[in-house]
Amino acid sequence: MVILQAGAVGNPVAIAGTVGLFALFLSVTAHIAARNVLGDVEVKKAFVVGPLPAAIAVVSTAFGLSPFLAIALAISVDAVAISLLYKRSRRLTAYITAIHIVVSIILGAMLFSLAFLLSSAPG
């Protein structure tokens, strides 16, 4: 029997909202990465890429799995999804996946910094 961490258990609506927002964020960054590498691509393909790594992140957090294992699994699933959806070579798939990681980190850091700045504003 697996015991969930006390801090990870929450309201199901809040958990679903977290997964949904994270999936949306990863879908947007996947589209930016694919568009950067491939040019004009369909937006709906990116909405298939985002939910898989988001679900892996939430499940690994809920069960207290190793973050390194979760990141490796999420990147692998991301690469497989990109490969299957965009039907490109392994090399180009790896490049799109790398750009997706970089765009996610940069955009995530910018949004987190903006949220922190706005929350620390006086008044």
pLDDT in tens, 59-89: 898 888 899 999 999 999 999 999 999 998 9
The confidence score (pLDDT) of residue 46 equals 87
Residues 99 and 30: beta-carbon distance below 8 Å:
no
Of 40, 43, 17, 41, which is closest to residue 28 (Cα–Cα)? Answer: 43
pTM reported for the whole predicted model: 0.84
Arithmetic mean of pLDDT, 20-39: 93
Start-end of H helices in 7-89: 12-38, 43-49, 51-62, 67-86
* Residue range 30-51: mean pLDDT, rounded: 90
What pLDDT band is residue 55 in, cutting at 50, 70 and 90?
very high
Higher pLDDT, 60 or 8: 60
pLDDT of residue 26: 94
Per-residue pLDDT for 24 more than 70?
yes
Task: Name the residue with tokens 């015991």.
Answer: 3
* Predicted confidence band of residue 9 (pLDDT cuts 50, 70, 90): low
Find out whether 56 and 79 touch, Cβ atoms under 8 Å: no
Query: For residue 71, how many other CB atoms are within 10 A of its CB?
Result: 15
Average pLDDT value over all residues in the chain = 88
